[in-house]
A = this chain, B = another copy of it.
């Protein structure tokens, strides 16, 4: 599906890559790349293609009508599971071994094979638990 490395596509990929710990809306991405002159259509079309290719994951957030996107194609991201803090928004990369253990355990108990790309565990990270900070 993706054959040409256009200026816009390169800029989008680079941006997603360097913001892999954030969950972004299409609009945020478009605005961030406004210097690169990329149209909304191109953003949506490329995100859709990347999602199909398993490079990007689509998420929703409590109370938000918009859909969020997050890069999931990084080398070590394919082997681990991800935690997302509801307070500060940060993404935590679970250790690969720990993820594997967790997935194995669920596979045995429930005969269920977890997909690492699609799954995100929501909750509160250590810092936010202590500080009670960053309601943002």
Known: A112-B126, A115-B122. A83 touches B106 (CB 8 A): yes
**Contact assessment for A109 and B124 in the assembled complex, using a CB-CB cutoff below 8 Å:** no
Given the known interface contacts A118-B123, A124-B112, the answer about A105 and B102 at a Cβ–Cβ threshold of 8 Å is yes
Question: A136 an interface residue at 8 Å Cβ cutoff?
Answer: no
Q: 5 shortest A-B CB distances, which residue pairs?
A: A111-B126, A60-B60, A118-B122, A114-B123, A115-B123
On whether the beta carbons of A124 and B129 are closer than 8 Å, the reply is: no
Does A32 have its Cβ within 8 Å of any Cβ on chain B?
Answer: no
| Minimal Cβ-Cβ distance residue in B for A117 | B122
Q: What is the size, in residues, of chain A's interface with B at 8 Å between Cβ atoms?
A: 41
Give the docked Cα–Cα distance between A52 and B63 (Å). Answer: 8
Given the complex, which residues of B lie within 8 Å of A123, measured CB to CB? 112-115, 118-119
Instruction: State A68–B60 Cα separation when bound (angstroms).
Output: 9
Do residues B114 and A122 form an inter-chain contact, with CB atoms below 8 A? yes
